[in-house]
Structure 1
Amino acid sequence: MARKKSSSGNILAQLLNQNGVKMILGFVAAGSFAFAFGQEKIQQFVAKAAPSNSACLDQFYRDVPPYLMKDSLNKNSYPLCFNGFNVMYSGVSKTPLWVAEALTPERLSQKIPREDSFHEEPRVNEAHRALLSDYRASGYDRGHMAPNADMPTKDAQFDSFSLANMVPQAPKNNQQVWRELEEATRAIATKQKQDVYIVSGPVFAAQKLKTIGKGVIVPTATYKAVYLPKTGAIGAYYAPNDNSLQVKIVSVCYLEEQLGINLFPQLNEEQKRNTYNLPLKATAVKAAKPIEYSYWDAESQCAEDVSNDDLQAMQKQFKPAGSSSSAGSAGQASTGLDSAAQDAIVKQLVESLLQYILQLLK
């Protein structure tokens, strides 16, 4: 009887061992499948989370970005695609040189509550990056160029608080003049039901410029160039970066001469010399009253035309944050997950799963 029990026990042990091996092999096979499946899913997630190249170009009129005409402006520059706007960031001034966005009635119909999330831009090299500490106790606001209120999603709102979208603005310039101009441009889109293409940024027009923190240059003025394809209305706001509450409307050619930037390369010189009476406040925008023509600027020096090859090369620089392209002349790598990082994440998941299974089998 004892021998029979021993024999039965051995057989049972063998069966358990065989089944255990089969279970482990099954889990390993399942883990291998999870690895392949999980890797694909992570890649899909990263691709979905980042804005597409076409979405980047949608922020420009006819998909064409502004073009820097001066070689000095290209030094340490970073073309950055965000959700809802694009930036040409300068590692020299540690501010954007321009910020472009396309406002539509549909976009502005999405209302989300404001959530402040000021942050430093990780795609910019540390040596060229504006820091939160640069603005602290500086006497200047962190002034959005693409405003938070223009953003239709949480991702776009978060992106708008990147310091790559900020310039040091005098408090009254930011909180009153600039706020009212932002409200006016939104009113054009919503009340008159038309698309509004905007390029905003700083002007550095003094021989000696003030800095804050570790080298963030304070602009002498801020600008906002506006084009309405539906009616052909065009012009630009120009506001001294002080507390004077002054603002004037100028031609796009006037701005281009000041900046050394072709703000709307897809428009001809005749169009950019036209100047319309852009509204200074949202209350000045009437649904049934088109924006009136003001004058033709015959004096300013418009930016020269840019070749199609150069424009196409510039278009290719605006890649979504998750792509493998470099950022600007500084050659920054993308902040998206690369294949090695994806593999490491999935391997960790599989290893954790196997460790858990082995604990159960003990």
Structure 2
Amino acid sequence: MFSKINGLLRMRRFWFGLTSSAAVGHQVSGCTLGSGLYDSMLAKFSGTVAAPLLASVLATLTPLADGLTRYVLHDLLGLPVGTSGSASSSVAGTPSSSATQFSQCRQHFPAGQPPMVPDSSNLRELCYSAFAVLHSGSHKTPVFVAERLNRATIAQAKGRQRTDRFFADARLPRAERAELADYQGSGYSRGHMAPAGDMASAEAMAQSFSLANMVPQNQAHNAGPWSQIEQDTRSYAQRAQGDVYVFTGPVYSGPIKTIGPNKVQVPSHLFKLVYDASTGRSWAHWQANAAGTRMSAPISYEELVRRSGIRFLPG
């Protein structure tokens, strides 16, 4: 009990320091400390000596709350991660169906329809302002990341300064997510799946540095052919007549390799599917996650479906 009281006191001091910090830029839009969360916390601690202190802390925090507040409170108090706000989550081990349901961010998907994925455990859906992530708690990396690009978003993204403030998304349970320490000294870069260069707003830029949007990537590959693929994709979206949908993600084959104390899995390959909704044209890049990888000819959509097991496009 006293440890929880101490945690609440630390949380109160932490928050007042945080509100003046640039870390607030990591908030995820639409998630606020609403009355439901407030009531659930009070109910959890009702009848204990901590209840009055908790009420005081929450009363202080609520007017200042944003998405990050909610995640900090979850972590410090040990509460379960909810699905309110802009993210919907499958219960770990019991995905709702093979068709995932990103009900709060359908704008990131063609015709508003998320991909069809094979049944699996520990899958969670995360919505961000400029992209959506289906996250695997088993691999502690994305299954895929979805974006919608067009001429306007590319123009807005040009010249935007990178924040480079990486963070662990606390919507994910600790046991299912990567932490900053996992990448330190690993020899791998934190490879964006939705690139920072695609982000059309300061909020989107900050959110793109979530570790839920990262995989352990060979540094030479990340800075070389993969960077070129990202630039080519932006160039195409800038020329396109309408929306271009991009799906990016890792593939795991061969011996399992992990990094860090949380055993974040290292992918053997990465893919990027580009789909022009105006023309119906699509193609996919398939790259080995290795230093010697070179640019190669794209593969077809159907070939990507065969290799990945995911049907990305509707119909």
TM-score bucket (shorter structure): 0.5 to 0.7
* Structure 1, unaligned runs of 5 or more: 1-37, 268-362
Q: Which residue in the other structure is 1:78 paired with?
A: 124
Higher helix share: 1
1:171 aligns with 2:219: yes
Q: Which residue in the other structure is 1:58 paired with?
A: 107
* C-alpha distance in 2 between matches for 1:257 and 1:103: 25
**Equivalent residue of 1:235, what SS?**
strand
Q: Which residue in the other structure is 1:314 paired with?
A: none
For normalisation by structure 2, the TM-score amounts to 0.65
Higher RCO (C-alpha 8 Å, min separation 6): 1
* C-alpha distance in 2 between matches for 1:243 and 1:107: 31
How far off its partner does 1:260 sit?
1.9
**Equivalent residue of 2:146, what SS?**
strand
**2:241–2:278 Cα contact (<8 Å) kept:** no
Larger Rg: 1
**1:238–1:247 Cα contact (<8 Å) kept:** no
How far off its partner does 1:259 sit?
1.8
1:259 aligns with 2:308: yes
**2:240–2:276 Cα contact (<8 Å) kept:** no
Q: Which residue in the other structure is 1:99 paired with?
A: 145
* Alignment of structure 1 residues 132-151 onto 2, 5 Å: 132-151=180-199
Aligned pairs, how many? Answer: 221
**1:188–1:194 Cα contact (<8 Å) kept:** no
* Alignment of structure 1 residues 115-134 onto 2, 5 Å: 115-134=163-182
Residue by residue over 1:164-183, the C-alpha shift from the partner in whole angstroms, topping out at 9 and shown as x without a partner, is 00001101211111111111
**Equivalent residue of 1:188, what SS?**
helix
**1:240–1:247 Cα contact (<8 Å) kept:** no
* C-alpha distance in 2 between matches for 1:194 and 1:232: 11
**1:97–1:201 Cα contact (<8 Å) kept:** yes
**Equivalent residue of 2:216, what SS?**
strand
RMSD of aligned C-alpha atoms?
2.4
**Equivalent residue of 2:164, what SS?**
coil
**2:150–2:240 Cα contact (<8 Å) kept:** no
**Equivalent residue of 2:187, what SS?**
coil
2:238 maps to amino acid: T
How far off its partner does 1:78 sit?
0.8
Q: Which residue in the other structure is 1:205 paired with?
A: 253
2:305 maps to amino acid: E
* Structure 2, unaligned runs of 5 or more: 1-58, 68-84, 88-101
**Equivalent residue of 1:92, what SS?**
coil
2:135 is aligned, of 89, 92, 96, to: 89
* C-alpha distance in 1 between matches for 2:103 and 2:124: 19
1:108 aligns with 2:154: yes
How far off its partner does 1:256 sit?
1.7
2:280 maps to amino acid: G
**Equivalent residue of 2:108, what SS?**
coil
For normalisation by structure 1, the TM-score amounts to 0.57
1:162 aligns with 2:214: no
Does the C-alpha gap of structure 1 residues 43 and 200 become closer, same or farther in structure 2, counting only changes over 3 Å?
Answer: same
